[in-house]
Every structure is written in structure tokens, then in C-alpha cells.
Structure 1
Amino acid sequence: MGTINVGPFAISLGLIYLTAAMLFSLAVGKWATRSRNVDVEPTLWTLLVVAVLGARIAFVARYFDMYKTSPWSVVDIRDGGFSAPAGMLVLIALAAWLAWRRREVRMPLALAVSTGMVIWLMGLAAMMANESGREELPQVELARLDGGALRLRSLVGKPVVVNLWATWCPPCRREMPVLRDAQAQYRDIVFVFADQGESADAVRRYLQTEKLSLDNVLLDSSLEVGRQTDSMALPTTLFFNEKGVLVGRRTGELSAATLAQRIGSLRMPGHP
């Protein structure tokens, strides 16, 4: 799981690990300069900012076609669109250049950056290990908005994207057109829209008002999917491979670019 849920709120584990990495890095930098008349803290903050910018720029460049229609969305980092490898490369390159230019900070900077990178990589490894568990499509049967019912486990055999949403949730509403377009584009993937706790009338009114045409709109009146997958924050999008195993989770609003990234990962060979 990529988040810690506190009631209806979700705190990103990635952000927690990044904060921990920076705090450890600052502590080590301060310890390493205790007997020297230098201060590496401003340099460490500069490295962090430039690395994050580099990670964002690399991601936007990769999915530029999806951002160019709405350029303002480039600065909307709520979509979680970052390239971690690019950020790491930028950080290492800039740290090496600064260390080469300023001999007095060379050793403290190397120790501080190395510590931060180890903490960050350990966090990423823990997240990946957690996400690659054997959590499967929930054993639930949900009512279809257009009548009948659907057993989620019956979808095993194809990759499945399950979006947990509600009409009262602003980020859910903002990302819905992106998911609608993806459902039309990725015909080899089953998209399921599991409304959390609302009535059929409320969902129908919303879809009609917004002129949204979606397949597989389901009603999860008891919030069972959220409970079984520990995904109570909205919106949450769950990615299951063709074996019905959970291989990815995104809590928070998706952009077309971040959804394309997750779909690409879902299609990669070697998923459990």
C-alpha cells in the first residue's frame, strides 16, 4: 500500500520516506560539519529542490503529448507524475559537481547525500515489496447501475482497473473524464467504476448531468471493496493483472499521463 489512511485522509508513504530521507541527510550533514566552519544544509535543500524539479520535468517530457493540450497541468503536481530515476540522476550529478567545486564540503556532502539516498531507496524497496504481495480482486458481488450484478473475481483473465469514487468527491469528478477516455482507448483492459456508498439515483443524476458514458458502473453500498483493499480514501484506483493480483495503487487524482504510466506498468511482463 502506497499510503497511510487516517480516516478519510491518505498520507503518501513516498512523501513520508522522502521526508525521513531529508531529515536523516540533514542530521548527518550537521554531524559531519560539527568541527568545521561550513554549513551544508542550504546545499542539501538545493539538491532536494533541483532533484524534484528534474523528476517532474523528465516525467512531463516523457508524456508531453498528454500535457500539451492543457499546459497549466504541468505545474499541478497533485497527479503524482515524477520520474524517480531521473530525480536520482539529477541529484547525484549536481552533488558531484558541487563537491568538486567546494572541497570543504566534499566529505560532509557525500555522507549526507549517501545517507539520504539509502533511506529513500529502502523506503522504495519497502513500498515495492508491499505492493507486490498477493492481494487479489475482492470476493464481492456488486450491483450494476444498469441492472444485474457483477462478481469482481469473474474478471480474472484480463488486466483490471478498479476506480473507487463518489459523486461528492471533487478529485473523483475531475479525473472521471480521464478514466472515461482510457476506457475507450485501452480495450484490452477492464475498467470498473465502483461508487462508494451512494444510491443508484445519485450516480445516475451525476452521470447524466456531466454527460459521462461509462461501462461497468457498480454500486458498492457497503464500501466492501474499500475495506477489503484497505482503500478508504477517495479517489483510489487499483490495478490488477490478468491473474487478479493487485500490482499497483494510486490514491489521489490521476492525470492522463499518470494513468498512462500505470497502464504501461500493468502491461509489463513479469508482474506477479
Structure 2
Amino acid sequence: MAFIEAFRGVRLPAYANNSAVMWLKRSARAAMGAFIGFLTIMLTGLSLATAAHAALSASCSKINSDFSVPFYTEIPANYIANEYPALNPGEKISWTFSTTGTAFGGTTAALTIYTGTDYDELVDISNIDGNKNVSGTFTASASVNFIYIVANVSQDAAQGPSDLNTLTFSASCAAAASASAPTVTGISPTSGPAAGATAVTITGTDFTGATTVTIGGQAATSVTVTSATQITAVTPAGTAGARNVVVTTPAGSGTLTNGYSYIAPTIAFSPAAGALTAATVG
């Protein structure tokens, strides 16, 4: 390192005492520590930015590139007709659209957005009934991961300069929000027979997409995710004692430690005491 070499090259005068030498050494170490800390922060930020960029689909990245500067036009031949296929599930597109001018003779500034390979119409807006300044979002899913954006203007020869239709469109695309692992906060009822077959309701958070529910390590049956905070299920057979309740989703697992207790079967004799006879033994 140039800094270290420069320090090594310093020659103190003969009258310099040990305190001065120690002060210089401490200063050099402090400066180097600060430099390393700064470099670590920079590299960490770069890694996070790179990871976030890599998480975007090609289409999501292209939306950000295409509209890094808002699109503006008042020229009919200058328009948007862009397809963005194969978006990652959860990627969110945010857009804004504004117009000026007069829809003279039916001419317009218009935006149409289609989704899915069947080109289902999501947005159809124009200034034919007045100028617009609107915004919206679209979130891709596993089944609908395609968006087609069309924006254009048309002008009438009789329009004056102040009546010309104009449009401004901008859009950005963000990666899917990271899903949180579920948490399990309760189960009702809290106990049941070791034979299982008890209907239970499990409460907590982030249950959406739950794949399995286990009690004591055994899979529950009839699992139904009724909401992000509630699951209904039927207990499996187990052994007597308190057992963990575990909910698993693609984002991870949540555990309610010893949340459900299996109760051992009891055997009752009637009569409780008496001589062994044909009547009491049966």
C-alpha cells in the first residue's frame, strides 16, 4: 500500500522523542482503519446493488432502461408499442401517464396496457373526455407474466399549436418483495387424543403458500390456508406429550414449540374393585 510505504520512508529528526514516534504510528493505524472501513462499506453496497440488479428479469430491466427518461411525444409517428414477456412472479411495474391538448375532431393522446398472452386489457385511457394525469401498477404472477404497453397521439390538421395532443409516460420495474418466513403464534384446541383426527385452527403470520403443517414431526391432513394468518387442519396420530407445531412455506418455516399436546388414552374399570368372577371379567 502506498500509504504504508510513504510512512516507512519518514525519517524523524534526532531530537524526536518516543512520544512523537508513537503518535505517528497511532495516526497511521487510525487512518488505515478508517480507509479499510470505508472500503468495506463501499464493497458491501456494491454487492447488494449487484444482487438486486441480478434479481430482475430481462424484461424488468428493459422497462427500467426504456423509461429511464420519461417518454414524451406530440408526433403520431413517435409512439410506444413495447412487449415485456417472462417477468418474474412478484415483479411490480409502476407507471404514470399524463396528457395535454384538445381531443379535436376525435384525435387523442392515449395509453393502452395489455397483460397476459391473451392480451387482456388492463388499462385504456385517453384525453378524449379531458386531460389525464394518472398512475397505476401491475404485479406479475406465475400465470400472468407478460405486459404490452401502447401509447400514441393523433392530431388533426385543423388543430392549432396550443391544441396539439401530447402525452408523457414513465414506468419502472422493481424486484419481487422478499417473502417472510411464517410465524406460528397459536393453535386451537391446544390438545387432543393421541389417535389424532382432531380439527384444529392454527394462527400466525405469513401463511400464504404454506406447503406443509406438521405436529410432532408428522404431517397434518386436510390443510387449508384460509388466510395469511390462519390455517385449518386435522391432527395426525401421535404419542402422548407436548409437540411442536410447524408451518412451512417457500420462504421458510415457523414453529410453535410444544404448542399441541397429545393425551394418552385412559382405561377405566367398572367396577373399580371386586372379586374376579365371570360377571366382572366378562
TM-score interval w.r.t. the shorter chain? Answer: under 0.3
Name whichever structure is richer in strand by fraction. Answer: 2
- Larger relative contact order (Cα-Cα within 8 Å, sequence gap ≥ 6): 1
User: Which one has a bigger Cα radius of gyration?
Assistant: 2
Which structure: greater helix fraction? 1
